[in-house]
Amino acid sequence: MHKKFRDIDVQSDKVNRIINCAFEEFSKNAFDKASTNNIVKAAQVSRGLMYHHFKDKQELFDFLMAFSLTVMLDAFNKNVDWEEIDILSRIRQTVRFKWDIFQRYPYMLEFCVKHAKSDNIAGEKKIMIDQLKDIRKSLYNENIDISVFKEGIDIHMAIDVIRWTIAKYSEEYQQKIIVGNMQPQLEEMFTRLEDYIEFLKEVFYK
């Protein structure tokens, strides 16, 4: 993360509330429509406290992007076993650490998807986005055992279907939690995930 943000105490309860409320505000609005008034109100902190850490909306946005990219890169580097050659097992690993991130920062991933192509992204953050893209590409293509797939199947198409199915399931479950203001039932979620994985194995594997 950029050195100007390294002194921000993300373990502080008040700072963490600002971060999460800012993720939510920016994920629901374009940059110019996002309101710092909404953020401080939702976070239940003073404007003075927010501006103590972030001089303006742009700097807050820059922090959120740098922070989210750092969290995602660290998660991939620490949790993906590149010796695992089964594509479904790799995807299972990514779902688990993304759910850990979701529990801490419910709107982080949505924020990244919405703003990753923003004109405000440049320099170090652009480099980090490119690194994430490279990791994601490697996740689905590098050192994958394709011998497990049934003969005659278009492997690239099969991997796309696998990826889309798991991503859609995770996305719908996350929205169910956010919209319903529910606590995640992770045991239930991962049990259902395993059902999908077994189904996909039956469809595509020998």
pLDDT 10s digits, 73-94: 888 889 989 999 999 999 999 9
Work out the mean pLDDT of the chain and round it to a whole number: 86
Instruction: Give mean pLDDT, residues 65-77.
Output: 88
User: Torsion over CA of 69, 75, 77 and 79, rounded to 10 degrees?
Assistant: -160
Name the phi and psi angles at 183, rounded to 5: -80, 135
pLDDT confidence tier of residue 161, bands split at 50, 70 and 90? very high
Name the phi and psi angles at 149, rounded to 5: -75, 150
b/e string for 42-52 if b means 16 or more Cβ within 10 A? Answer: bbebeeebbee
User: Which two tokens mark 155?
Assistant: 């492997």
Cβ atoms of residues 23 and 111 within 8 Å: yes
- 3-class SS shares of the chain: helix, strand, coil, % to 5: 75, 0, 25
Query: Residue 128: what pLDDT?
Result: 73
More confident residue, 100 or 118: 100
The share of the chain scoring above pLDDT 90, in percent, equals 44
Query: Residue 188: what pLDDT?
Result: 80
Query: Residue 115: what pLDDT?
Result: 80
Name the phi and psi angles at 70, rounded to 5: -65, -45
DSSP character at residue 205: B
pLDDT 10s digits, 110-155: 898 888 766 566 566 667 777 878 888 888 888 999 999 999 999 9
Whole-number Å distance between alpha carbons of 109 and 107: 6
User: Which two tokens mark 82?
Assistant: 């590149």
Nearest partner of 82 among 68, 70, 94, 98, judged by Cα: 94
Instruction: Give mean pLDDT, residues 95-107.
Output: 88
CATH of the structural domain 3-204, one choice from 1.10.357.10, 3.40.50.300, 1.10.4000.10, 1.10.10.60: 1.10.357.10
- Residue 155 sits at the vertex; the CA angle it makes with 174 and 80, to the nearest 5 degrees, is 50
User: Which two tokens mark 19?
Assistant: 């971060």
Instruction: Give mean pLDDT, residues 185-189.
Output: 76
More confident residue, 124 or 204: 204
Domain ranges of the chain: 3-204
For the full predicted model, state whether its pTM sits above 0.85.
no
Residue 143 Ramachandran class (φ > 0 left, ψ -120 to 50 alpha, else beta) = left
pLDDT confidence tier of residue 21, bands split at 50, 70 and 90? very high
